[in-house]
Amino acid sequence: MGPLNNTTGGSNILGTDICQLYFIFRYETKLSNGFRGFLYFLALAYCFIGLSAITARFFRSMENVVKHTRTVEEIDPCTNNKIIRQYKVWNYTIADISLLAFGTSFPQISLATIDAIRNLGNLYAGGLGPGTLVGSAAFDLFPIHAVCVVVPKAGELKKISDIGVWLVELFWSFWAYVWLYIILEVWTPNVITLWEALFTVLQYGLLLLHAYAQDKRLPYLSLPIPRSDRPEDWVPAETELDKDGTLTAHDTHSDILDDEHGNREIVDIFGIHNGDRDFAYRNLSSSDITEPSDEYHEEIPKIDNLLAIWKQQFFDACVLESPQSKKSNNKCLRTAKAFWELLLAPWRVLFAFIPPCHIAHGWVSFILSLIFISGIAYIVTKLTDLISCVTGINSYIIAFTALAAGTSWPDLVASKIAAERQITADSAIANITCSNSVNIYVGIGVPWLIDTLYNFIAYKEPLRIENASGLSFSLLVFFATSVCCIGVLVFRRLTLGAELGGPRFWAWTTCVYFILLWLVFVVLSSLRVSGII
């Protein structure tokens, strides 16, 4: 790959100076800036397709991690029978905030961390990472909410059942951006000190502790808000899914679903919320207490089976699907699906190297998926430099528009599936608010901690923020528009009784309103960075 940090080349206006940076071959500099910009945008879009291709595998491995249980044998004091309880290792609220929110935000976190590492030695922090994370927060809050509102069936209402946990998550989400503005403009304007970066990261731990306390309703640490009654199964039964005609369950306990074409790449990423919140149990007779039932033991495939599954991954990746459905007679649709399969094929072959998610309760697959996401994020940062160089578009504008939307794809997938399949709106909306918190506390906090620590050791100097005024302005616009967004959700709760779904007219009206809020954020932030306002 070419030396993209070469300082000898650059272009401010499309079609004038020739950008001397290149992606793979030096011959690229012989092409016109306009044609190169087109090619680099296509490459950037293809990277986003790669992120979408790895999303299902990442979620499947995350499910195995979160569904891990530990077996405890107890004696029923009433019947003296042994009871086997399966306690979930992960609290589902903590899983939402840590694994789910962290995982879906990992493309942005990786991009920001890579941007920080390559800027080590500079007194100024790069604006690519913070711009992407703030833009991602806006994309999460507005377009993803817009999609989730219209996803339920006409007239179907889905509301948040645990308002207390949502309010805690919402508070920390808002505070994250208030805190960021304070350290940028109030305490140490345009400068980030080591302790500010460190405290930013530590606040993520405070979020986890506060959310756990609220979920468990710990005294003095939680809001006195009762939890609404939840159905025994958060995910609708198989018969209910079949009414839609577009999504059917593979079996009653499967985490992988069939779509209308028989494609088993759709993952029930929220199966971890099924049944009892903390444990399941059954009574055993005296003749049945030697070994716990297989019902409560995760089946661990043998080595031969794992190798067979891994081999099947490569086989499936190399075979182009030709699904049969009612719509398959449409020639245009068949052509589009074939073209999409061809685009995905290289990514699917690459990701087939990730081991099956059955190993170590999914941890190996989970970690390797994050590593692959980091690799794609690295390529994205390089392409962003090139696009900015050949087009003259400010990299900050590219960051909070194209990069934010592309890297937020896993967030969109996660919330959309939750809004479709869960009876309540908890995880669909919690994923948005938690991801926004993670964007600041981890996505910005960790890269700034790396840079400030290096500067403190090497130069005894704080970290200066490039384009701090533009970032602060974007924070103000985001905060104002986010208040308008949350206000509408509260209004829907008071009038319709739920945050998501409802009559199609009001659902689509809310959807359009959220999209307009996002456009307001993008336009105003772009004008500010361009110096127009």
Could you give the CA distance from residue 160 to residue 226 in angstroms, rounded to a whole number? Answer: 12
Question: What's the pLDDT score for residue 461?
Answer: 85
Tokens of 226: 């009762």
Closest CA to 108 of 126, 131, 132, 141: 132
pLDDT by residue for the chain (533 residues), tens digit each?
444 443 334 444 444 467 778 788 888 888 888 888 899 999 988 988 888 788 777 777 877 787 777 787 878 778 878 888 777 777 777 877 777 777 778 888 888 888 888 888 787 777 777 888 888 889 988 999 999 999 988 888 888 888 888 888 889 988 988 998 898 888 888 888 999 999 999 999 999 899 888 888 888 888 888 776 554 333 433 333 333 333 333 333 333 333 333 343 333 334 334 444 443 333 333 333 333 444 444 444 577 777 888 888 888 777 766 555 545 567 787 788 888 888 888 888 888 888 887 788 888 888 898 888 888 888 888 888 888 888 888 888 888 888 888 888 777 877 888 788 788 888 788 778 888 888 889 988 999 999 899 988 888 888 888 777 878 888 899 989 999 999 999 999 999 988 999 899 999 999 999 999 999 999 998 888 777 77
SS3 of 361-386: the string is HHHHHHHHHHHHHHHHHHHHHHHHHH
**Which residues partner with 500 through β-bridges?**
158
Kindly tell me the burial class for residue 45, based on how many C-beta atoms sit within 10 Å of its own C-beta (0-12, 13-18, 19 or more).
middle
The pTM of this model reads: 0.73
Tokens 């019947």 -> residue: 79
Tokens of 10: 């650059």
- Contact (CB, 8 A) for 113 and 442: no
Closest CA to 28 of 386, 342, 514: 386
Question: What's the pLDDT score for residue 149?
Answer: 93
> For 188-213, b where at least 16 C-beta lie within 10 A, e where not — what string?
bebbbbbebbebbbebbeebbebbbb
Residue positions counted in the chain: 533
Closest CA to 127 of 405, 480, 457, 384: 384
- Contact (CB, 8 A) for 56 and 267: yes
Question: In 3-state terms, what secondary structure has residue 91?
Answer: coil
Question: What's the pLDDT score for residue 281?
Answer: 34
Question: What's the pLDDT score for residue 19?
Answer: 78
Question: What's the pLDDT score for residue 322?
Answer: 56
Q: Which amino acid is at 138?
A: A
Q: Which amino acid is at 114?
A: I
Kindly tell me the burial class for residue 349, based on how many C-beta atoms sit within 10 Å of its own C-beta (0-12, 13-18, 19 or more).
middle
DSSP letter at 137? Answer: H
Question: What's the pLDDT score for residue 513?
Answer: 96
Could you give the CA distance from residue 269 to residue 254 in angstroms, rounded to a whole number? Answer: 11
Question: What's the pLDDT score for residue 21?
Answer: 80
Tokens 């306002």 -> residue: 533
Question: What's the pLDDT score for residue 71?
Answer: 80
- Contact (CB, 8 A) for 410 and 103: yes
- Spell out the residues 6+ positions from residue 253 whose beta carbon is closer than 8 angstroms to its own: none
Question: In 3-state terms, what secondary structure has residue 267?
Answer: strand
Could you give the CA distance from residue 316 to residue 349 in angstroms, rounded to a whole number? Answer: 9
Closest CA to 375 of 347, 395, 397: 347
Angle at 195 between CA 190 and CA 199, to 5 degrees: 100
DSSP letter at 158? Answer: E
Could you give the CA distance from residue 113 to residue 485 in angstroms, rounded to a whole number? Answer: 29
Could you give the CA distance from residue 373 to residue 148 in angstroms, rounded to a whole number? Answer: 25
Q: Where are the beta strands (DSSP E) in 108-210?
A: 124-125, 157-158, 191-192
Could you give the CA distance from residue 211 to residue 166 in angstroms, rounded to a whole number? Answer: 9
